Amino acid sequence: MKKIDAVIFDLDGVIVDTAVFHYQAWKRLAHELGFDLTPEQNEHLKGVSRIESLEIVLEIGRINHLTQKKKEEIATKKNDWYRENILKMTPDDILPGVSDFLGKLKKANYKIAIGSSSKNAGTILERIGYSSYFDAVVDGTKINYSKPDPEVFIKAANLLKANPKNCIVFEDAAAGIEAANNAGMKSIGVGSPDVLYKANIVIPDLRNLDISIFDNLIEH
């Protein structure tokens, strides 16, 4: 008997490789401000909202004199650079293994949702042809607190009428794994075990993935 009610996917870095575009845009901004961003520092930007990411970037560059207006201005500039890339996306940008695995879930009648901190999620889903593919989409326009707060995943579970403890989250961000754990859900990290060590399971990507992976997460 199936004990999983729903499967919730982060978008950036799990369904599509937009985490790279975010990194490029933050790096460009950092360079304009006179410093650099390393891949390790970038891990802290994943999963958190645009404005919180900016605060982290400014802290890394030891920049503490900007007005709120200036911060909003440079966050918008970063977002404009980022959007130049996502507006060019097509269904070919869906990461390997993703559409096969989503197809398997649908065929087996699992409810699926997106749980993303991004305010650009709608644009991305439209570009890749997934606008009406998921049973629920909760994104940065619908939440008050970004990951590691569990709000985004709890909202998705509520929309799907699923019990959080019977939900599985796929995430590429450490903050996202923490959010899933804080929501009382099971978590599958997509990426490096060094970064995602708080996840129940870590996989490198969704290639050749089978639903039987859930067997390892169900409490018997």
Annotated active-site residue 10? The verdict is yes
For ligand BG6, the closer of residues 79 and 166 by Cβ is: 79
Site for ligand BG6 in 72-91 (CB under 6 A): 79
Q: How far is CA 8 from CA 23, 88, 116, 172, in A?
A: 24, 26, 10, 12
Any residues with CB less than 8 A from the CB of 178 and at least 6 apart, and which?
A: 147, 148, 198
Q: Which amino acid is at 71?
A: K
Q: Residues 6, 7, 8, 12: which binds Mg ion (CB under 5 A)?
A: 12
Among the options 12, 135, 139, 149, which is catalytic?
A: 12
β-strands 167-171, 201-203 pairing: unpaired
Residues in contact with 182: Cβ distance below 8 Å, sequence separation at least 6, in sequence order: 148, 149, 150
State which residue, 173 or 174, has the beta carbon closest to Mg ion.
173
116 touches ligand BG6 (CB under 6 A): yes
Q: Is residue 173 involved in binding ligand BG6 (CB under 6 A)?
A: yes
- Torsion angle in degrees (nearest 10) through CA of 58, 59, 64, 70: 20
For position 12 contacting ligand BG6 by CB under 6 A, the verdict is: yes
Catalytic status, residue 194: no
38 three-class SS:
coil
149 forms part of the interface with ligand BG6 (CB under 6 A):
no
CA distance 180 to 143: 15
Residue choice 7, 13, 43, 75 for contact with Mg ion (CB under 5 A): 13
**Residue 142 contacts ligand BG6 per CB under 6 A:** no
Catalytic residue positions, numbered: 10, 12
Which residues contribute to the site for ligand BG6 (CB under 6 A)? 12, 19, 22, 45-50, 53, 79, 116-120, 140, 173
Which residues contribute to the site for Mg ion (CB under 5 A)? 10, 12-13, 172-173
